[in-house]
């Protein structure tokens, strides 16, 4: 992802944004908390995310959090 892109366009870019640029460790607990929040369409943060970035970006972000969870649990090779 280059600096002109506002959002990551792939899982690898997303992980880089979260872990390197954001300094956030994708721990099982963090992933679980974020997924719980993002999957709750009544949660204020989820509503704001969807309003700002759209439903497609929300669904992609959920997909990437699920993949990160699978990666940590060894479900992905």
* Contact criterion met (CB below 8 Å) for 38 and 57: no
pTM score, two decimals?
0.86
Task: Give yes or no for a contact between 42 and 36, defined as CB atoms under 8 angstroms apart.
Answer: no
Per-residue model confidence as pLDDT tens digits over 31-61: 999 999 999 999 999 999 999 999 999 999 9
Tens-digit pLDDT profile for residues 16-32:
999 999 999 999 999 99
With tokens 């993949």, the residue in question is 67
Q: What is the b/e burial string over 32-70, where b = at least 16 CB atoms within 10 angstroms of the residue's CB?
A: eebbeebeeeeeeebeebbeeeeeeebebbeebbebbbe
């Amino acid at each position: 992802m280059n600096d002109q892109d506002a959002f990551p366009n792939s899982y690898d870019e997303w992980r880089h944004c979260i872990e390197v640029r954001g300094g956030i460790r994708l721990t099982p607990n963090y992933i679980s908390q974020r997924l719980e929040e993002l999957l709750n369409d009544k949660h204020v943060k989820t509503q704001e995310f969807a309003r700002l970035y759209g439903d497609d970006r929300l669904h992609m972000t959920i997909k990437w959090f699920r993949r990160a969870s699978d990666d940590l649990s060894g479900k992905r090779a």
